[in-house]
Amino acid sequence: MSESKRRRAMYTVLSEWLPEHQLWPVMWLWQQQFAQRAQFELNEFFSQCSHYPAIKQHRSQLYRRLIGLLMAEDEQLKDDPWPTMQRYQRQQQDTLAQGADDYSQPLNDMMSTLLSHLRSDTIARIQDYIVAQGARTGLPAALIQSLVHCIEQQQPMALQSYDEQQLRALLNLFYIGLCESLGPVKADQLLSEAIQRGGPLAQALAVAR
C-alpha cells in the first residue's frame, strides 16, 4: 500500500474529529514517525496523541475507522493533504523564525484564557502547586513570582528575560497543576482553547509538554 493512500486514510479520519490547529501537528507526527511503520503500530500513534481529548475519548472508534479505510477503495478517501501539510510547515517555520525571541505575548494570551475559565479556589490550588514545585524544577524564582503576580494582580507577566525552555517549563508546571485540579480531559480542553488564542508560537511552547 502506498504512503499516499495511508496518509489520505489518516487524514480522512483525523479531519473528522480534530480542529485545524490540532490536525496538522498530529498529521506531521504520523508523517515523521509512523509513515514507514507497520499497520499494527498505529495503536502506538494514537497513544502518543492521547493528550488530545477527541483522540483519547474515541481512540477505539478512530482505530477501527482507519483500518476500514485502509482496506477501502480510494474513492472513499479525501485528497492527499501533503501540499497543505508542507504549506503549514513552512508557515510555522516562518512564524517561529520571525518571533523566536518573543514568546511573551502568546504565553500571556494563553494564561489569560486559562485563568478566565477557572474558579478562584482552583486558581489558588494551582498557584500553590507552582510555588511548591517551581524550585524543584529549577525554574528561576523571579519567573515563578511573575506568574504569581499575573494571577493575583491580573496583569501580564514580564517574560522577555527568559528563554523558550524556561517558558515551556513554566507552562508545563501550570498544566500539571491544572490536571491535578480538574483532571486531564478538562485540562486538555482548556489548554487547546488557550493554544488557539495564542497562535503558532503558543503551540510551539505547548508541543513538548
pLDDT exceeds cutoff 90 at 163: no
- Enter the pTM of the model: 0.54
The values of phi and psi at residue 176, to 5°, are -65, -45
Angstrom CA distances, 141 to 17, 144, 152, stand at: 40, 5, 16
First to last CA, the chain: 34
- What is the per-residue pLDDT across 100-153, written as a single tens digit (0 to 9) for each? 457 888 898 899 999 999 999 999 999 999 998 887 777 888 999 988 888 888
Alpha-carbon distance 12 to 194, whole Å? 26
- What is the per-residue pLDDT across 38-77, written as a single tens digit (0 to 9) for each? 877 888 899 888 777 889 889 999 999 999 999 999 999 9
Alpha-carbon distance 67 to 71, whole Å? 7
In one-letter notation, the amino acid at residue 198 is: G
Please report, rounded to a whole number, the percentage of residues in the chain having pLDDT higher than 90. Answer: 39
